[in-house]
Structures are given as structure tokens and as C-alpha cells.
Amino acid sequence: MRTPFLAGNWKMHKTVSESAEFAQELVRTLSSSRNKLMVAPAFLSLPAVAAVLQGSKILLGAQNMAPEVEGAHTGEVSVRMLKDVGVNVVILGHSERRHSYLESDALVNRKVRLALDHDLEAILCVGETIEEREQGQVEDVVGTQLREGLAGVDPGQLDRVTIAYEPVWAIGTGKTATPQDADAVHAYIRTVLGSMYSTDAAQRLIVQYGGSVKPTNVKELMAMENIDGALVGGASLEIESFAPIALFDA
Ligand code: 13P
């Protein structure tokens, strides 16, 4: 039985005080949820949100991380800095990082291994563009992102890995993959993971869907066999839209 994992990616929204205030509202509202929950504020807001989330059931996520432990890397934030402020989970390989900041699979892989080696959980994001989908390359693209993103990750570390399938064309567009289309890719993700590790490990793995998830579509997505959660952008920014998603109950 896989525990549903509902996560909010706040991207570059909310100031520090807005983030802390919103986190307080989430703690009050979501205490009864039986799901695994996470919010990922911007780097600057992490300490303030960490203080609010302490003792609650909501995990603290970061949206990115440097591929090195420390050094002369202007503008970067290290794994030790994230751990020091209480981050539990880090989102890596988000399509906005891959496409706007040209992050390669090799770079994402260095970050994934570093995060896991430092006992963080990692959400590895994968997903195809509309052109890749139209050219029938979904499995090629997603398979490569998985194999290269997880290269060198030990079987024993896999229980700290979540995969988020986020088709690029569905992010922030209001277009959601149909539950059936999403589920087919999620099933394929399990097949790839099964060939890399074991069927058992692939069955235990949490695979989130991301891309225009809203209170109105979360139920039908979560009803699919291989969809175990959601990585939510826009709808995670307001209590009215995030609470019904986070409180989702099968
Ligand atoms: P939206 O929910 O705004 O489409 O964003 C999804 C996403 O990118 C979450 O990481």
C-alpha cells in the first residue's frame, strides 16, 4: 500500500512573511490529513517556514540544490545549508530548471546522488514536451531521464526517492493529461524502475503526477492504479485550492 504524497511547489511566489503566514494556515487546516504532505517555498523563506512547520506533519521541501557540497559557486545553495535549516525533501530536475536553466540529466543525477548521500529525500521530475509527445517519444524521453537521473543510486536509497511525472505541456497551462494517459506513463515509469532495480522496488515507489492539478481533477487522477500523489504548482498557493488536494482521501 503506497501512502499518497501531495506536495506543493510554490516556485517563485510569496515573500518570506507571506510564506510563513500561509504555512501557519496550512498547519491549522491540514492536521487531520492522513497523506504524506510537503510544501516547497523559495530558498529565502525556508528558515521561516521551517519554524512554522516544526512539530507538524507537513514536510519541508526545497525547489533545487547545488550539485557540489561547497565551494566557489556564486548564487548556489548547498545540501548542507538545506539540511541545516530543516529541509526534508528536495525537488530536482524540474522541467523549469531543465528548460530555462539548461540542466542536463547528468547534472540532475549529481544533485540526486548528493541529496541521497546526505539523507535527504529527493523528488526527481521527469516529463516530455508537446513536440516530443507528438513525435511519439514519451517513453524514450522519460526512460532516459529516469535511467540517467538515477544512475549510481543504490537500491537501498530508493525508498527516499519519489518520481514526479510532469508533462511539460500540462504545467501552468490548465491542460491536464487525461488520467488514462498519465497512468500509462506512470506504469511505464514502474517498468523502467523494475528493470533498473526490482519489481518489488518499482511497486513500492511513489509516482506523483504534476501539471494543472486542481481540486476538481485530483480525485480522478488519484483513482488511477499507478498515480500515488501530486506535485502541485498554481493550486498550492491558496488554502482554498490546496486544502482539498492535500486532504484527498481515497
Ligand atoms: P501547475 O500545477 O501550476 O501546473 O505546476 C505544476 C508543477 O510544475 C509543479 O512542480
Q: What is the pLDDT of residues 179-189, one digit of tens each?
A: 999 999 999 99
Distance CA 99, CA 97 (A): 6
Quote the CA–CA distance of 133 and 115 in Å, as a whole number: 30
Say yes or no to pLDDT of 176 above 90: no
User: Ligand 1 center to residue 60 CA distance, Å?
Assistant: 17
- Residues 166/207, Cβ–Cβ less than 8 Å: no
Q: Ligand 1: distance of its center to the CA of 212 in Å?
A: 6
Residue 130 confidence (pLDDT): 94
Q: To the nearest whole number, what is the mean pLDDT of the chain?
A: 97
Residue with the three cell numbers 525508498: 159
Give the chain's domains with CATH numbers: 5-246 (3.20.20.70)
Instruction: Read off the pTM.
Output: 0.98
User: Residues 6 or more apart from 124 whose CB is under 8 A from it?
Assistant: 92, 93, 108, 112, 145, 146, 149, 150, 161, 162, 163, 164
Span 116-124, mean pLDDT? 98
**Mind telling me the catalytic residues?**
94, 166
Tell me if 232 CB under 6 Å of ligand 1: yes
Q: How far apart are CA 180 and CA 114, in angstroms?
A: 34
Burial 78-94 (b: 16+ CB within 10 A, else e): bbebbbebebbbbbbbb
